[in-house]
Amino acid sequence: MKNVKKFRGKALLMGTVLLLSACSAGRYAATEKIYKEKAKGFATVLSATPPEGQQIPTLDQGIQSWIGSVNFGIRKPNFVIIHHTAQDSLTQTVNTFLNAKAEVSAHYVIGRDGKVVQMVNDYLRANHAGAAKWGNDSDLNSSSIGIELDNNGKTDPFTDAQLRSLVGVLEVLKKKYNIPTANFIGHADIAPGRKVDPMNFPWKVLAKKGFGFWYDDVLQLPPENFDTTLALRIIGYNTANLKSAISAFKLHFVQNDNTAVLTATDKLILFNLYKKYM
Ligand SMILES: [Zn+2]
């Protein structure tokens, strides 16, 4: 009985592999070839001993050596950055990410119909964050998975099918890579003043499912000496441009006005949230 089950599993797997290669053999064969060549290049870099270009040039060569350990693994993503594509269809976004001149990509693109297209291996670095900072992490592309939601960024609502697929992807990523609840954030959060995506995003719904934080229903008054800039900074915002940081915070957590001023209510929300991020 066990053997039959195993065989069935294998047959199913082979079917999936065939289907995947059939898809990529046609329309995307040329870009698939480029992906494989690039990935092979990285594999060569990873397997070189001693690693190339990692000797410390300012130290004497004679005092440096290489002895490969037997205990190591591959680095894992620790953040998920959510975007909206600001494009009109999944195909348009996929084509952008296949265009070398565009220089941009994301690990996953999720269509309005809930279709999920993976475009970069979770372990590789996609070009989705750009110049960004969160806390003291200034290379979010290296530490995160980027997820693009097909949405024109104007009047489009995020569809139920799209959000269902997103939650499905997030559940697996959170568990597989042990990503902290706080580390599910948006592009606008890490690039204040430069990006506004995802706009009008149901962060509260996501937070209820364990992806990102949301404020409590009952809010306490902050103390008189409450330092709002420090609170934004503790949450993760880059406060170098304070107005942009406030706008980004409100875009995510307030959503009804994006002015760069913290109202009394905004301060209650900020105080409540900053304690969760501490
Ligand atoms: Zn974005």
pLDDT for position 2:
41
Q: Which two tokens stand for residue 78?
A: 């620790």
pLDDT for position 11:
46
pLDDT for position 155:
80
Strands 108-110 and 116-118: antiparallel
Distance 155 CA to ligand 1 centre (A): 17
Distance 259 CA to ligand 1 centre (A): 20
Q: Where are the beta strands (DSSP E) in the chain?
A: 79-84, 108-110, 116-118, 144-149, 184-186
Distance CA 98, CA 47 (A): 27
Distance 16 CA to ligand 1 centre (A): 31
* Position 3 confidence tier, pLDDT thresholds 50, 70, 90: very low
Q: pLDDT over 70 for what percent of the chain?
A: 91
Sheet holding 108-110, edge to edge: 116-118, 108-110, 144-149, 79-84, 184-186
Distance 254 CA to ligand 1 centre (A): 19
251 pLDDT higher than 50: yes
Q: Would you say the pTM of this structure is higher than 0.85?
A: yes
Q: Which residues contact 179 (CB under 8 A, 6 or more apart)?
A: 77, 78, 79, 80, 173
Q: What are phi and psi of 184, to 5 degrees?
A: -105, 105
Q: Which of 52, 103, 148, 224 is catalytic?
A: 148
pLDDT for position 23:
53
Asked whether the beta carbons of 271 and 255 are under 8 A apart, the reply is no
Sign of the dihedral through C-alpha 214, 216, 217, 220: negative
Domain ranges of the chain: 1-72, 78-204, 215-278
Q: What does pLDDT average to over the chain?
A: 92
For domain 78-204, give its CATH number from 1.10.287.1040, 3.40.80.10, 3.30.479.10, 2.60.40.350: 3.40.80.10
